[in-house]
Amino acid sequence: MFLGKVLVVFGTRPEAIKMAPVIKELKKVEDITTIVAVTAQHREMLDQVLKLFDIVPDHDLNLMREGQDLYSITTGVLEGMKEILDKEQPDMVLVHGDTTTTFAAALAAFYRRIPVGHVEAGLRTRNKYSPYPEEMNRSLAGRICELHFAPTDTARENLLAESTASFKIWVTGNTVIDALLDTIKPEYKFGQELSQIDFSRRIVLVTTHRRENWGNSMRNIYEALLDIVNEFPDVEVVFPVHKNPVVREVAEEMLQGRERFHLIEPLDYEPFAHLMNCCYMVMTDSGGLQEEAPSLGKPVLVLRDTTERPEAVEAGTVKLVGTNRDKIYQEAKRLLTDSREYEQMARAINPYGDGKAARRIAKIVTEFLYVRLGAQM
Ligand code: UD1
Ligand code: UDP
């Protein structure tokens, strides 16, 4: 019995990684038609993931422009989604996380009175400017959505605290673990992209991109990295630099050409996941890395003032160190010199799920469509 059409919408690299397992599971359900629309708020970084997971979008808004701002992304997604929704008439829309694509796509579906499911729902810092604009994007998307797929109990509690009805929330785990487990292979060998790196040294894997860190905070982070590499001759920094020109400009100005710094292009998810798996530690302002690295037993220093991922902090594998140069340096030094401290953080724990989150989400979506169809008969 045909249950309905599900439209999965996303636009950036992390959303693609985390939605790929959901698309895979939904496509296994014969009674549902699953279609994919990308806003392409990201281009190259999105395409890298589409290729790896063999996703061919049914619609591609191709929105990305150099120097795009929050207004142009929001209006581009809204206008573009209007046409896709009119053409496809989906029975429900699925969005992910906290990007501007997430919020604007949910809003577009709401304007057509189409129910929306939110994957990775309920993450909160309760500070609307940190992370900016993500905290507001996910809060607003949450108000719109009918189904909330919370990765953890904490996320569920956050939603309940905002008076979200408990029967609309499911704790599923985070689909990033599904993607990671699907990707990591014991026999994997790196290609040419990492040939310059001396793996006999301790590898510190770095990524940065958060808007609230643009300017002085980002400079502080890079100064601290210089301090660390100067002090520890057996450390190499591998830094796949985000495509955002704001990040690139400062990173290249301060770190390019420095000894034992490898500023490289964003890596495909497969080599990146394996690099995480063999690095000494991670220093990042990314959201996703705070979920992935703990499940690989890698300590993470979070270069932000807030985190919406308290589970790994509580478990002790992730530490929030902020953006003060000396604080970052001291915390990194501790991990590089104190083996007890290192061992305490380097415990493989997995507060974000068992790799079956996407299966659960597909099942819940199927049941939702079944009940909805029944109500229409
Ligand atoms: C976006 C999301 C952020 C998410 C991050 C993941 C918003 C407002 N921000 O931030 O929540 O954590 O993605 O990485 O939704 N660019 C390229 N090629 C790419 C990708 C980006 O050239 O493949 C450049 C473009 O010049 C683009 C710029 O990066 O204009 C910024 O991209 P944008 O999506 O606006 O912001 P991000 O910082 O990537
Ligand atoms: N990632 C990747 N290649 C890279 C850097 C990161 O595939 O060169 C992956 C990483 O494993 C994680 C995701 O991209 O799953 C994180 O993306 P990002 O930091 O851009 O966004 P956030 O997680 O902060 O939303």
Q: Say if residue 342 is in the same domain as residue 368.
A: no
Q: Say if residue 147 is in the same domain as residue 208.
A: no
Q: Say if residue 159 is in the same domain as residue 262.
A: no
In a domain, 216, yes or no: yes
Q: Is the CB of 64 under 6 A from ligand 1?
A: yes
Residue 79 CA: distances (Å) to CA of 74, 93, 101: 9, 16, 12
Distance in angstroms (rounded) separating the CA atoms of residues 23 and 38? 13
Q: Say if residue 144 is in the same domain as residue 224.
A: no
Q: Is the CB of 11 under 6 A from ligand 2?
A: no
Distance in angstroms (rounded) separating the CA atoms of residues 327 and 223? 11
Q: Say if residue 158 is in the same domain as residue 49.
A: yes
In a domain, 184, yes or no: no
> Would residue 162 show up in a list of annotated catalytic residues for this protein?
no
In a domain, 358, yes or no: yes
Q: Is the CB of 44 under 6 A from ligand 1?
A: yes
CB contact at 8 A, 293 and 317: yes
> Would residue 134 show up in a list of annotated catalytic residues for this protein?
yes
Q: Say if residue 277 is in the same domain as residue 367.
A: no
Q: What number of other Cβ atoms are within 10 A of residue 268's Cβ?
A: 17
Q: Say if residue 341 is in the same domain as residue 359.
A: no
CATH of the domain at 264: 3.40.50.2000
CB contact at 8 A, 226 and 283: no
Q: Say if residue 16 is in the same domain as residue 124.
A: yes
Q: Tell me which residue range forms the domain holding 364.
A: 4-174+354-376
pLDDT tens sequence for the chain (377 residues)? 899 999 999 999 999 999 999 999 999 999 999 999 999 999 999 999 999 999 999 999 999 999 899 999 999 999 999 999 999 999 999 999 999 999 999 999 999 999 999 999 999 999 999 999 999 999 999 999 999 999 999 999 999 999 999 999 999 999 999 999 999 999 999 999 999 999 999 999 999 999 999 999 999 999 999 999 999 999 999 999 999 999 999 999 999 999 999 999 999 999 999 999 999 999 999 999 999 999 999 999 999 999 999 999 999 999 999 999 999 999 999 999 999 999 999 988 889 999 999 999 999 999 999 998 888 87
In a domain, 186, yes or no: no
How remote is the CA of residue 267 from the centroid of ligand 2, in Å?
A: 9
Q: Say if residue 166 is in the same domain as residue 294.
A: no
Q: pTM score > 0.85 for this model? A: yes
In a domain, 305, yes or no: yes
The total domain count for the chain is 2
In a domain, 185, yes or no: no
